[in-house]
Amino acid sequence: MLALKEVLEALRQLGPDEFRVLSAVERGMSRYMYVPMEEISRLTRYDEDYTSALVRKLNSMGLLQRHTGNYVGYILTSRGYDCLALNTLIKRGVLESIGVSPLGRGKESDVYPGKTAGNKLVAVKFHRIGRTSFRQTRKLRSYIGERRHISWLYQSRLAAESEYRALRILHPSGVSVPKPIDWNRHIVVYECLEGVELFRAPELADAALFRDLLLEEILKAYGKGVVHSDLSEYNVMVVGEKPVLFDWPQWVSSSHPMAMHYLKRDIHNILKFFKRKYDISYDLNKVINKLMSRGEGFA
């Protein structure tokens, strides 16, 4: 498991020349499996001796990984990628500091608390696709499409971009999601929620009302053309007595051929949870029909 503390320590030891090398390797990785020294030197426009000294330093810091085979080449490690993305967000003034104890850890992400330059508390989500193998492919299929060879780095960036895009559609439309702030590479910065996930929330005062509010949000998102597709009690936060829906990288558009299937599955997961924990019975088809008959969005 990657410790953010080490990334932050590394970040402090990097100057503009080191960043130039990291970003050259990043660019080189779109053309090479392992980026050769000559290519890094060509991209940085530093001579080979200077480039190689910087590469050695970054390699020893664990930000670049060296591969020997037919030729010697380098790739970014996920720690190196973290440094590039954090540096960009810091330079933009989006992030001022970041805490090292995670707000949460998922299978494909680490979420840390951060502060903006204006001292606002935010959540900083590092997408880490490739850490697990099976689930990721299922979840990402809709936006990877048919491309087969796709690196963890590119997948993680796509996941972040996709999540940010969903929040940018939903938040201004009044759907209850964390307010998006910015994104870079595999990192999304958004509002920090002061609540507790539904699956481990203490007994709700009015569970039936909460369930209906939640269904209402799913319906509103659908009305904006967005289906979460991985909704469950794990991706809903109880903030006050209100639901906030988070974890959106795998969303699909309502015009997606499987949109209806995912929508029903999302609704079903929620209904099942409320049946199990609060004994609120349901008839899935009745609920779906009732929502659909409301018109708006549900055509």
Q: Could you tell which of ligand ATP, Mg ion, none binds residue 26, using a CB distance below 5 to 8 A set by kind?
A: none
Q: Which residues pair with 191 in a beta bridge?
A: 122
Of 14 and 177, CB closest to ligand ATP: 177
Q: Could you tell which of ligand ATP, Mg ion, none binds residue 197, using a CB distance below 5 to 8 A set by kind?
A: ligand ATP
Residue nearest to Mg ion (CB): 247
Of 39 and 247, CB closest to Mg ion: 247
Q: Could you tell which of Mg ion, ligand ATP, none binds residue 192, using a CB distance below 5 to 8 A set by kind?
A: ligand ATP
Of 17, 47, 82, 230, which one is the catalytic site residue?
Answer: 230
Contact residues: ligand ATP, CB under 6 A: 103-104, 106-109, 111, 123, 125, 178, 190-193, 197, 234-235, 246-247
Residue 193 parent element (H or E): none
At 183, phi and psi to the nearest 5?
Answer: -150, 155
Contact residues: Mg ion, CB under 5 A: 106, 235, 247
CB atoms within 10 A of CB 45: 9
Of 14 and 187, CB closest to ligand ATP: 187
C-beta of residue 95 within 8 angstroms of C-beta of residue 115: yes
Pairing of β 97-98 and β 187-191 = unpaired
C-beta of residue 194 within 8 angstroms of C-beta of residue 169: no
Separation CA 179–CA 167 (nearest Å): 7
Residue 64 parent element (H or E): strand 64-68
Of 21 and 124, CB closest to Mg ion: 124
In angstroms, what is the minimal distance from the CB of 103 to ligand ATP? 4
C-beta of residue 74 within 8 angstroms of C-beta of residue 64: yes
49 labelled catalytic: no
The residues annotated with a catalytic role in the active site are 230
